[in-house]
Amino acid sequence: MSLLSDLLNLNLSDTTEKVIAEYIWIGGSGMDLRSKARTLNGPVSDPSKLPKWNYDGSSTNQAPGEDSEVILYPQAIFKDPFRRGNNILVMCDAYTPAGEPIPTNKRHAAAKIFSHPDVLAEEPWYGIEQEYTLLQRDVKWPIGWPLGGYPGPQGPYYCGIGGDKAFGRDVVDSHYKACLYAGVNISGINGEVMPGQWEFQVGPAVGISAGDELWVARYILERITEIAGIVLSFDPKPIHGDWNGAGAHTNYSTKSTRSDGGYEVIKKAIEKLGLKHKEHIAAYGEGNERRLTGRHETADINTFLWGVANRGASIRVGRDTEKAGKGYFEDRRPASNMDPYVVTSMIAETTIIWKP
Amino acid sequence: MSALNDLLNLDLFDYTDKIIAEYIWIGGSGIDMRSKARTLRGPVTDPAKLPKWNYDGSSTDQAPGHDSEVILYPQAVFRDPFRRGSNILVMCDAYTPAGEPIPTNKRFNAAKVFSDPHVVAEEPWYGIEQEYTLLQKDVQWPIGWPVGGFPGPQGPYYCGVGADKAFGRDIVDAHYKACLYAGINISGINGEVMPGQWEFQVGPAVGISAADQVWVARYILERITEIAGVVLTFDPKPIKGDWNGAGAHTNYSTKSMREHGGLTVIKKAIEKLGLRHKHHIAAYGEGNERRLTGRHETADINTFSWGVANRGASIRVGRDTEKDGKGYFEDRRPASNMDPYVVTSMIAETTILLKP
């Protein structure tokens, strides 16, 4: 297949000014990513200079057949790690031809919240810990797991190494470099407690860019699993029983929490989140009740509690934040299949804008 | 999968000044290694300039769930042979948030021994011969061995060549180059007496760095076996019966031993070791009683003996040391699963610090 590789890796910069732009959007389930590519006349690095585009919404459950055009508005540009050169990935959100955000477009409302003057003043930072599970393609059983059976119990796999403990590292490591190349602010990776499960972190990112970067990181990950012949799952509890679920812990801070006296601001913020626990939980991902059981390093879905260094709590405050008297906190409730536009903006809204 | 390789091998130098640092630590069993990665502004080569980090100790048997943070202190930096570029491996040890070494942190005590002025003055050198066995995944039977049976008896395998005598050389040779690349002082490799068993040597290394290098060499080895789809074991007697065990012979010298009249110093040191035989044996690796039987080039675990060129002794002095009247000696008692922090510091403590 080396001739195919040669073609895939062709560096067109010497032959043409043209550039390929892959437009990415979120499909009708709110979790499926879609993309298609178009040729542009030259390199572009500013999303406002990119043309709007459109797609067949009737094929993604986002428009009726007789009025199927959905318009794509480019919102963020990243370098394309697959095509490299001057080629780009473009994260978009979706609108009706009349200019209204379609129902699955959660970015629009998030952008409104993040441009609220109170929120802007607080400069909210996010660090999102995206967990995910890799599955063998045709059987949808986690990679490294024996077919028809189970691996040895959890214990050796968290940050583990070795052919009997870490499955799929090639996917994880190529994703890390691909994201750095693309310009996604990926801050780390680790093997998770359940074998075949991994985590990457994006952040710190400010405001709406956290959501953009996480979605593009998810896109890059699924493109890489496609190359590897493996299936990607963001299901929050992929395997029933004594196996950890998958979450998207969201670390959060504002200007005030990062400044002197920030610890008090943090406690007030956590209090507000506690008062809106049910609303947040409803928006924190489908199927989360299978994951938030109170076991496997989670807090029960109906309980709101917080603690320092407590991984069994809804909200965890790190020891260094406690010691420094300022810093950030971790909302451990979101599931791996959460929409980061929803979660990040809701946390900002509840803690900054909302008066109880 | 060459597209995956292209991503894995991406040289990010032209795109970002960010580097990836893989923080490595020893888990709750005292022999399992764990690691996770983070992005830093680079390049960095001095461990003192690296940030402390933390991990979930409740997932590695090193902390309870309600107070799970264990702090990682960077101690030694090596080049990352897997990610290359300016990316690094960071050997760490583990502390409570209050700054106390956790019980499995054996480096802390070793560092104390190695900074004692008497020990510093003696400049202790170590050369550690790490033996290990490679096992087929899923069946946990040595590679090259027929499943459900045994290979021909020991004889042809020690330093052997040929597909019927040497199994897994790719791993051994890749490890050799990877360690040299990383900056580990790997001094050699050889095929061992039992088929599927190999040895590498690290040294000479001074004081605490001997153990840092052995642990990182072990880490690199297990990462390589992970790539090769093979399982690594440091069990000291992997196969019962007429098959050699696996040790970690530790060669040792001090300034006084390396100088004129050193042989007398060596004999005195061996005497002191003899008086503390039981104490050392207890710290020389779990399961060593299955290996130190008095057969298969070992001395019986309850007997302390030494001799020139004697592979059946607890301590062996080389013929060239005897001839020169100075040099080093080899403690053959440590098992392959020994902790080099414990063994190297204990030998220094017994021979330099303790008065019998």
Identify which of B263, B239, B86 has the alpha carbon closest to the alpha carbon of residue A180.
B86
> How many angstroms separate the CA atoms of B206 and A325, rounded?
42
Question: Across the interface, which of B4, B58, B137 has its CB nearest the CB of A224?
Answer: B4
Q: Tell if the CB–CB gap between B7 and A177 is shorter than 8 Å.
A: yes
How far away is chain A from the Cα of B211, in angstroms, using its nearest Cα?
A: 19
pLDDT tens readout for residues B265-308 = 999 999 999 999 999 999 999 999 999 998 888 889 999 999 99
- Residue A21 sits at φ, ψ, to 5 deg, of -115, 120
User: Which strand (E) or helix (H) includes residue B336?
Assistant: none
Mean pLDDT (chain B) is 95
**Binary contact (A169, B226; C-beta < 8 A):** yes
Do B135 and B127 meet the contact criterion of CB atoms below 8 Å apart? no
* Interface contact A81-B223, CB threshold 8 A: no
- For the segment B208-217, what is each residue's pLDDT rounded down to a tens digit? 999 999 999 9
- Residue whose pair of structure tokens reads 């050799």 in the numeric block: B176
Whether the predicted pLDDT of B168 surpasses 70? yes
Contacts of B223 in chain A (CB under 8 A): 161-162
Contact A158, A191 (CB under 8 A): yes
Residues 6+ away with beta carbon under 8 Å from B24: B33, B34, B35, B89, B90, B91, B92, B215, B216, B219
Closest in B16, B59, B231 to A162, CB measured: B231
Buried b (16+ CB within 10 A) or exposed e, B241-279: eebbbbbbbbbbbbebbbeeebbebbeebbebbbebbee
SS (H, E, C) chain A: CHHHHHHHCCCHHHCCCCEEEEEEEECCCCCCEEEEEEEECCCCCCHHHCCCEEEEHHHCCCCCHHHCEEEEEEEEEEECCCCCCCCEEEEEEEECCCCCECCCCCHHHHHHHHCCHHHHHHCCEEEEEEEEEEEECCCCCECCCCCCCCCCCCCCCCCECCCCCCCCHHHHHHHHHHHHHHCCCEEEEEECCCCCEEEEEEEEEECHHHHHHHHHHHHHHHHHHHHHCEEEECCCCCCCCCCCCCEEEEEEECHHHHCCCHHHHHHHHHHHHHHCHHHHHHHCCCCHHHCCCCCCCCCCCCCCCEEECCCCCCEEECHHHHHHCCCCEEECCCECCCCHHHHHHHHHHHHHHCCC
| Nearest chain B CA: its distance from A45 CA (Å) | 15
| CA A123 distance to own-chain centroid | 20
Cα–Cα distances in angstroms (integers) from residue A307 to residues A328, B65, B67, B294, B296, in the given order: 13, 11, 9, 56, 56
Q: With the C-alpha atoms ordered A12, A14, A16, A18, is the resulting torsion angle positive or negative?
A: positive
Give B105 to chain A, closest Cα distance, Å: 17
Chain-chain contact of B38 with A187 (C-beta, under 8 angstroms): yes
Residue of A nearest to B222 (CA): A162
Residue A1 is predicted with a pLDDT of: 64
Answer whether A178 sits within 8 Å of B10, measured CB to CB.
Answer: yes
Q: Give the minimum alpha-carbon distance from A176 to chain B in angstroms, rounded to a whole number.
A: 9
Are the beta carbons of A163 and B228 separated by less than 8 Å? yes
Are A190 and B18 a contacting pair at CB < 8 A?
A: no
B26 conformational bin, left if phi > 0, alpha if psi -120 to 50, beta if neither: beta
Q: Do A180 and B39 touch (CB under 8 A)?
A: yes
Q: Residue B137: which of A9, A164, A190 has the nearest Cβ?
A: A164
The percent of residues above 70 in pLDDT, for chain B, comes to: 100
B8 neighbourhood in chain A, CB within 8 Å: 170, 173-174, 177
Whether A245 and A237 have beta carbons less than 8 Å apart is answered as yes
Measured CA to CA, the distance from residue B56 to residue B65 in angstroms comes to 8
A211 CB contacts (<8 Å, ≥6 apart)? A107, A110, A339, A340, A341, A344, A345
- Judge: A159–B36 Cβ closer than 8 Å, yes or no: yes
Answer yes or no: pTM beyond 0.80: yes
Confidence of residue B1 (pLDDT cuts 50, 70, 90): low
Which of A158, A180, A189 is the closest to B56 by Cβ? A158
Which tokens is A1 given? Answer: 């297949």
Interchain CB distance below 8 Å, A155 and B226:
no
pLDDT, average across residues B112-124: 98
- Find residue A130's DSSP bridge partners: A200, A248
Looking at this protein, which amino acid is placed at residue A39? T
Q: Mean pLDDT throughout B79-106? A: 96
- Measure the CA–CA gap between B354 and A9, rounded to whole angstroms: 65
**Whole-number Å distance between alpha carbons of B68 and B38:** 20
Residue A218's identity, in one-letter code, is R
Question: pLDDT tens per residue, chain A (356 residues)?
Answer: 678 888 888 889 889 999 999 999 999 999 999 999 999 999 999 999 999 999 999 999 999 988 899 999 999 999 999 999 999 999 999 999 999 999 999 999 999 999 999 999 999 999 999 999 999 999 999 999 999 999 999 999 999 999 999 999 999 999 999 999 999 999 999 999 999 999 999 999 999 999 999 999 999 999 999 999 999 999 999 999 999 999 999 999 999 999 999 999 999 999 999 999 999 999 999 999 999 998 888 889 999 999 988 878 999 998 889 999 999 999 999 999 999 999 999 999 999 999 98
**CA distance, residue B292 to nearest chain A CA (Å):** 27
Are the Cβ atoms of A162 and B12 closer than 8 angstroms?
Answer: no
Work out whether the CA dihedral A314, A315, A319, A323 comes out positive or negative: negative
Nearest-Cα distance to chain A for B26, in Å, is 10
Name the 3-class secondary structure at B322. Answer: helix
Q: Do A309 and B82 touch (CB under 8 A)?
A: no
Is B25 in contact with B19 (CB distance < 8 Å)?
no
Tell which phi-psi region holds residue A254, choosing left (phi > 0), alpha (psi between -120 and 50) or beta: beta
- Compute the distance between CA of residue A355 and CA of residue A346 in angstroms, rounded to an integer: 14
- Give the chain B residue whose CA is nearest to the CA of A310: B66
List of chain B residues whose C-beta atoms are within 8 Å of the C-beta of residue A79: 15
Mean pLDDT in residue range B341-355: 96
pLDDT tens digits, residue range B190-244? Answer: 999 999 999 999 999 999 999 999 999 999 999 999 999 999 999 999 999 999 9
User: What is the dihedral sign for C-alpha B60, B287, B168, B174?
Assistant: positive
Q: Phi and psi at residue A32, in whole multiples of 5°? A: -80, 135
* pLDDT at B311 > cutoff 90: no
Of residues B8, B20, B33, nearest to A170 (C-beta): B8
Pick from B6, B35, B226: which is nearest to A163 by CB?
Answer: B226
Answer whether B58 sits within 8 Å of A311, measured CB to CB. Answer: yes
How many A×B Cβ pairs under 8 Å?
132
- What's the start-to-end Cα distance of chain A, in Å? 62
> Which candidate in B15, B16, B54, B59 is best for mutational testing of the A interface (most A CBs within 10 A)?
B59
For residue A330, the cross-strand partners are: A251, A316
Q: Do A160 and B34 touch (CB under 8 A)?
A: yes
Question: What's the confidence (pLDDT) of residue A283?
Answer: 97
Q: pLDDT tens digits, residue range B120-166?
A: 999 999 999 999 999 999 899 999 999 999 999 999 999 999 999 99
The alpha carbon of residue A112 is apart from the nearest alpha carbon of chain B, in Å, by 31
Which sign does the torsion angle of CA B169, B174, B175, B179 carry?
positive
In chain A, what residues touch B67 (CB-CB under 8 Å)? 309-310
